[in-house]
Structure formats: C-alpha cells, structure tokens
Structure 1
Amino acid sequence: MLPWFKELNQQLASRINNNILHHAILISGTIGLGKEQYASHLSKKILCEDKVSMLACGICKSCQLIDAGSHPDNHVVVSDKTQIGIDLIRKEIETLSKTAQLSGNKVLTIANADLMTESATNSLLKTLEEPTNNTYIILTSSQSQRLLPTILSRCEKLNVNPPDFESAREWLSQESISPLPSKDALRAFKGSPLAYKNSVEQASGLLYTDFEFTIQELIERTTGVNKASIQWQKDADKLVVWLGQYFLNRYKDSNKESDFIAYQKTVDANKKLNHAGLNKVLILQSLFSHV
C-alpha cells in the first residue's frame, strides 16, 4: 500500500472490522496519487473474511478470487473513454441488487466517477439513496467538483493530500527512481510521487531535470531562447505545462504581474498546441522570453 494512504486506511479498516463503514465512499485528490490503487485495497478489505487485521489477509477464498480477478461480488467500472455511460452503470447496479454470492458483502468501484454522464449519475443515485444490505460503493475522482451535489451529499468524502516533500523523495528512493525530484519538480507534478515516477519510467523525451537545466541556462544567459525552443519543440506539450507551473510558482513568490501574464500565456499556448501545422518553435520562443 502506498504510504500516504496508511493513516486513512487505519480509519476505514477499523470501521470495516466493526461493521460501521459508510455505504458510499468518495476518494478524491489530484491525479497521480494512486486513488484507484487504494480503492482496490479497500474493496479487497471489505470482501475479506478476516475482520480483525488492518489489511486484507490475502489467503482467504475471497482474497484469492480477487487476486485472480474472478470475485463474483467485486465489481469495477473503469472507462477508457471520455464518459461513463448509463448502460455501463445500469448493468452494475442490476448486479448489485442481487444477493451476494460469496462473502456477504458486495462492492462496486467506479474510477473517475466525475466522467459519468448525467443519466448514469441519476441511475447510480437511487442505489446511493436506498442501498441494499451489505452493499458498498467506492468512487474515485480527481475533479469531484464535477459530480452532482446529490451524489456528493450521499457519500462520505475523503480527500487525499500528497505526501510532504521528504516523504515523497524517500518513497521514490525506495522505488529506485533516479533522478530524485527537486521541490519544484515535484510541485510541477502537483506533489504526486506516482506521477513523477511514471514520468521518469515512461519518458520518451526530455525529463523535468532537463527542463530545470534549461531554465537555469536561460537565467544565466548561457543558452539562448531560440536554441532552447528548438531543443524542446518535440516535447512542447509537457514543456508548456511545466512552464505554466514554473511561472505560477514564481508569481506566488513575487506577486509580480509579469509572472502572472507569463502564466496566462502558457494556458493560451496549451490550447494552441492542439492545432495542427502550428510553429511550435515560435510559441516556445515567446514563452521562454519571459524566463
């Protein structure tokens, strides 16, 4: 289990063991904190036959079926589309209405619940209002403000915060991630060690450490705006995001209008980059000139 979920897990596992867990849980927080990963731990604990320990035992029949991906009472909705439609939700709701086949408990996890359409949300709402016995619903969201108030009001809302900088670096070090992030690097990933880890492991281009080096060179005038723009044109998408975070952090420290204007330009640039045939070098030159 990711260490920044341990305190929350202690609370929820205790409620599970004492049979007082709320029937609907909303786990929210920024992208890349591992909310879906923790939701899997939580659903496994709810279905586990061991009602004493803080974690699922991993050896009972229920745990073994979950590990095999074949537990009949564990239902997960994960969409690779931009929306979660009513048909998908309605199918799972219908299954939940039936008697549990194994452990007595039933769990439905909906990842990125804010992607549900209005009709899908309304379909889920009735189950939240009138849950059947021993039925638990776990929602995860990185944009919980997009969920309807009627959904929010019926869930226990649990917001997950990123770990502090030293804890994040310690975890990344244990995961053998190199290079370890600076404070600014982690802030660029909204404090998420997982997001930073994925960026390093899946990097197909320049890394954040390269970005920091480029910024330092521009500040020290050891490289030029044109050279930097050419270097970064293939990674323009992520560069604009990192520059936006850089200018926003600088504005928070300096309160200078020029830094905020630079940040706004990165927002505009991010939209423009979606258009084909755009001269990325010119866009990056404009942004780098504010460094």
Structure 2
Amino acid sequence: MQRKAYVTGTAALLAALLAGCTSGSSGGDDTTDKNADTGTSTVAAQPGKYRTLPEPCGAVSHDTLDSLLPGIAQIADADQRDKAYQGDATLTYDTDRKVGCRWKVESADATDRLSVDFERVVSYDNAVSDDNEAQTIYTQRETAADIPESAPPTATESESPSGSTSASPAPSSSAPSASASASPSASSAASVDPAGATSASASASTASADLQPRVLTDLGDQAYLDDQLSGSGSTAEQRTVTVVFRTSNVVVTIEYEEQPMATGTVPDSKEMQDRAQKLAARLAEALNG
C-alpha cells in the first residue's frame, strides 16, 4: 500500500510541472504580441521644401532698388552709392532660419526705407509639417494686422431692403434757378451730367477700395498687403506698405516706407503698393526657381 501511494504522488508532481510549463509558454506568446504592437510608430509629417535661405542683401537687384529708393541715383560719390546698394544685413544667430536686410536712402524729395526678411519655419512636432507650422505663423501675422477678408463695398448708390437701388431725387424743373437768367452757353457750361458725376464718384470709390489693406490671391501660397499712413499736421506724413507672403515653409516680409521732406505732402499709395508687390513677386519667383 505504501508503494502504491508513492507512485500516485509522483504522478501528481509530474502533472503539476507540465501544467506550469504550458502556462509559461502561453505567457511568452502574449509578450511577443505586445512587443509587436508597441513597435508600430506614427509616420512623421513631411519636412518643408526649403532647407536654406537666400542671401538677403543680394536678393534685391540694383534696378529694383533704383525704383524703390530713388535717392540712390542722386548719390554722386560712387563708393557711397555702392554702399547704399549693399544695404545692412540684419543681425541673426542662425542664417539657416532667419535673415534680413535694410536699406535707407535720402533724396531731395523724401527719405525711403526698405526691409526684406526671410524666415524658414521648422516644426518640432512630428505630427505637424513644416508647411502647416509656417501657415500658422503666417495666419497669426495676418490676424494681428487686422486684414479684412474682402474689400469693402464700392457702390455709391444706397440699396433698399428689397434689393433695389435708389438715387437722390433730381431738382424739380419748376423750381427757381439762379442760372435761369444766364445765357444758354453759360448755363450749358455750368451744368453737370448727374450720370457722369455718379460714374466719376464710383470710379474714385473703386480705386480707393482697391488700395485698402487686403489679401493677395496671386502671390505664393498665402499673402496679404497692408498700407498705413502716419503723421499729420505739422509733420510730414509717412506711408508704410507691408507685403507678407508664404511659400511652403518660408515666410517673407517686405516693409517699404516713404516720408516726404515737405510738410503736407502725402506719399502716393498706388505707386508704393505697385513697387512693393513687384518686389514680392520677384522674390517669390527666385525662391521657387
């Protein structure tokens, strides 16, 4: 009887060992599966198109500087004129990330200033691309500049709630007129065509609206133009035209300022805007080239 009991105990011990091995093997399979799951990584966002930046003081041609800074042509000394063309580089500690250049030239009529800045945006978040990070920075600047989404209405006629337009009533033909006693030729010369007056007023209003701060749709991936006039009364008014545009992960900022020498003189808005936009278009083309 004792021998039989010993055999039974041995069998029980072997069964317990086999059960433990089976359980350990199953646990090993689970560990392998978990490692495989945690080894799967998220695909990193794409880097931006640009890895370097242009040399800023050499990015603006002499012909363009002649247009924006007329005083350069008035500098008689050749060395001083060459120095004016060269501009002054902006102090920076990482030329792969941010660079800029400044020019200031005085003429007999005004003092003109020009600045050009390039910023290459790099995202440090693997889930955010360089382009998206640059878009965020651009949008912040556009919002800070308070650029309207669309141009203000330019119509000079008032619109009724029903959608129809109304104009001011014409003077009654029966009302007394100071010109009634004038000769036909004088009366004709003094009269003004109401339709012509309305057309001229509408044209002036449209031109004014076209020069307001606005989004630009034909420059880079995103762009806007700002136009501000400061100073009045006893001081000459200074106009500052700013163009900011983004192409891929580079944000470019152009500031063009003019302050006339004569008090009461106002810098021409259209002329300055045209010059600044032409420079912006050339810089965008150079970046894409």
Q: TM-score, normalised by structure 2?
A: 0.17
Structure with the higher strand share, 1 or 2: 2
Q: TM-score, normalised by structure 1?
A: 0.17
Structure with the higher helix share, 1 or 2: 1
In our comparison, the structure showing a higher alpha carbon Rg is 2
